[in-house]
């Protein structure tokens, strides 16, 4: 009977360990149950969120990203206003001027045209100066800077979402691993207890199995706590109105291969928002220099008026004169700066200093980009290669646990070897889950420099 019992236990244990091995092979979904929604939740079916959905939701809710988009909107309106300053303005003016009479049908003040003066005129006004054109160029460059910085914010948010999204998936996998480890420790406790009753092992083996089972129970509770905490962190990113009633798509599996470094390097040089922001900042500083020179050079103002400026509010004077009150006039003004105590030339020097600093910053961004491209690509390549090794480690650790347990039942292995095999499988499974997160975050970091590929 003892031999039959041992054989049946070996058969059941082999099936169990094989099932555990399939749970840790990449591409196989781990059936971890989603966190149940709170009892007061009214949503019947929670939304099933993919990574792209999570990124879209986070973009709408993240205050830093929305602040960058707001700055971009303000910069665009500044560009609209500076462009309007290049075009003629048209205004319609109406004015009534009353002057004290000097009793001879004229006003006391010689600057006025009569006791009663009515003005109703349309005015076309145009300013022409180098500073006006420089303001438009500066606003255009400022918009380019704001657009690049908004893209920087969006790509940086993608890294944050990747950490939260895949961190939650990894925590969920670790919880499933802790469940399997707890069940395995409980089964091994039952095996050692039966072998002790049959006189085949010492009571110290049972004590060690009990210690291992209790440790796995503690680890299971910690894994559940970590899963719930990571879920809350993800919920804060995704939802405007905080809720835990959601599910995420588990897309852990074989990772995509990285493109060649030359392709990544070309994409980084072409699509990097930090580089575009630095280049636009240099252009903005150049326009600052042009605008400063506008304070030294002449400026022209043109005005054209059409309407009435008469003692009667009418297009023609009453009988018997019947003069036509409608008329037009024009004026051109040339303003030439002569002496301003060196303030304008000081502004030119100030703008040149800013331009010099922009050149230095652009050079630094170019060097940093090249270094980060290599660093992020090496990190992604290492994480990609290690994932394959971690997957193999999970499979080997699962097989090692199965064989060690069989050897223990046949009296060829100690209880310490079984416990070590259990811990090795748990550690290998957790390392594989961490490797998945590491690769996806590394991929997101690369794409902050290159955009999607």
pLDDT in tens, 60-83: 999 999 999 999 999 999 999 999
Domain segments of the chain as ranges: 2-61+129-297+337-450
Instruction: Please tell me the predicted confidence (pLDDT) of residue 183.
Output: 93
Of 18, 53, 4, 441, give the one whose Cα is nearest residue 247.
Answer: 53
Omega before 105 within 30 of 0, i.e. cis: no
| b/e code 5-30 from CB counts within 10 Å (16+ = b) | ebeebeeebeebbeebbebbebeeeb
How far lies 6's CA from each of 12, 181, 404, 408, in Å?
Answer: 10, 22, 15, 11
**pLDDT of residue 88 exceeding 90:** yes
Mean predicted lDDT score pLDDT of the chain: 86
| Weakest mean pLDDT among 105-109, 239-243, 297-301 | 105-109
Q: Which of 168, 174, 163 minimizes the C-alpha distance to 430?
A: 174
- Do the Cβ atoms of 260 and 85 come closer than 8 Å? no
Q: What is the pLDDT of residue 41?
A: 44
Cβ atoms of residues 223 and 178 within 8 Å: yes
- The position carrying tokens 């092979």 is 25
Cα–Cα distance measured from residue 129 to residue 300, given in angstroms and rounded to the nearest whole number = 6
Tokens of 202: 């010492």
Spatial separation of the C-alpha atoms in residues 149 and 245, rounded to whole Å: 33
Which pLDDT does position 138 carry in this prediction? 93
Alpha-carbon distance of 263 to 265, in angstroms, equals 5
Q: For residues 314 and 327, give the distance between their C-alpha atoms in angstroms, rounded to a whole number.
A: 12
CA nearest to 145, candidates 268, 283, 287: 283
Residue 432 near residue 154 (C-beta atoms within 8 A): no
Return the structure tokens found at 314: 């009418």
For 416, what's the count of Cα atoms within 13 Å in the CB-facing half-sphere?
A: 0
Closest of 441, 450, 424, 448 to residue 387, by C-alpha:
441
pLDDT of residue 106: 66
User: What does the pLDDT read at residue 104?
Assistant: 65
pLDDT at 162 over 90: yes
pLDDT reported for residue 261: 92
Residue 287 burial by Cβ neighbours in a 10 Å radius (0-12, 13-18, 19+): buried
Q: For 254-274, how does the pLDDT look when each residue is reduced to its tens digit (9 = 90+)?
A: 888 899 999 999 999 898 999
The CATH code of the domain at 2-61+129-297+337-450 is 1.20.1600.10
Lowest-pLDDT range, 39-43, 282-286, 318-322, 347-351?
Answer: 39-43
Q: Is the pLDDT of residue 102 over 60?
A: yes
Could you tell me which residues come within 8 angstroms of residue 446 by beta carbon, excluding any fewer than 6 positions away? Answer: 258, 264, 373, 376, 377, 380
Distance from CA of residue 129 to its chain's centroid? 41
- Does residue 8 carry a pLDDT above 70? no
Position 44 confidence tier, pLDDT thresholds 50, 70, 90: low
Q: Does residue 210 carry a pLDDT above 70? A: yes
Length of the chain: 453
């Amino acid at each position: 009977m003892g031999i039959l019992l041992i054989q049946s236990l070996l058969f059941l244990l082999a099936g169990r360990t094989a099932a555990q091995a399939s749970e840790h092979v990449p591409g196989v979904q781990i059936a971890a149950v989603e966190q149940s929604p709170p009892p007061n939740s009214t949503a019947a079916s929670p939304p099933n969120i993919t990574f792209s959905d999570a990124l879209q939701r986070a973009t709408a809710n993240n205050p830093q990203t929305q602040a960058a988009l707001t700055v971009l909107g303000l910069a665009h309106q500044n560009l609209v206003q500076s462009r309007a300053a290049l075009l003629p303005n048209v205004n319609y003016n109406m004015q009534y001027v009353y002057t004290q009479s000097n009793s001879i049908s004229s006003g006391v003040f010689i600057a006025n045209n009569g006791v009663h003066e009515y003005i109703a005129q349309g005015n076309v006004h145009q300013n022409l100066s180098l500073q006006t054109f420089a303001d438009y160029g500066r606003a255009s460059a400022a918009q380019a800077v704001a657009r690049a910085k908004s893209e920087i914010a969006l790509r940086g948010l993608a890294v944050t979402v990747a950490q939260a999204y895949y961190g939650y998936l990894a925590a969920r996998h670790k919880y499933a691993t802790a469940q399997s480890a707890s069940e395995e420790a409980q089964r091994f406790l039952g095996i050692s207890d039966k072998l002790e009753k049959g006189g085949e092992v010492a009571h110290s083996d049972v004590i060690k199995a009990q210690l291992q089972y209790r440790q796995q129970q503690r680890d299971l509770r910690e894994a559940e706590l970590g899963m719930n905490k990571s879920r809350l962190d993800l919920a804060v990113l995704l939802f405007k109105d905080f809720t835990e009633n959601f599910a995420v798509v588990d897309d852990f599996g074989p990772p995509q291969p990285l493109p060649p470094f030359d392709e990544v390097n070309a994409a980084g040089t072409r699509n990097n928002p930090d580089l575009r922001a630095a280049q636009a900042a240099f252009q903005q500083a150049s326009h600052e220099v042009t605008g400063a020179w506008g304070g030294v050079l002449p400026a022209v103002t043109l005005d054209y008026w059409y309407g009435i400026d008469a003692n009667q509010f009418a297009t023609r004077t009453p009988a018997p004169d019947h003069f036509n009150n409608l008329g037009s006039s024009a004026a051109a003004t040339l303003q030439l700066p002569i002496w301003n105590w060196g303030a304008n030339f000081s502004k030119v020097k100030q703008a040149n200093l800013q331009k010099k600093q922009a050149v230095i910053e652009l050079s630094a961004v170019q060097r940093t980009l090249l270094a980060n491209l290599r660093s992020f690509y090496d990190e992604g390549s290492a994480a990609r290669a290690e994932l394959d090794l971690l997957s193999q480690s999970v499979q080997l650790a699962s097989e090692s646990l199965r064989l060690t347990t069989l050897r223990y039942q046949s009296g060829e292995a100690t209880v310490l070897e079984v416990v070590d095999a259990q811990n090795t499988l748990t550690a290998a499974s957790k390392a594989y889950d961490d490797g998945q997160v590491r690769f996806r975050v590394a991929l997101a970091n690369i794409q902050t420099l290159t955009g999607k590929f």
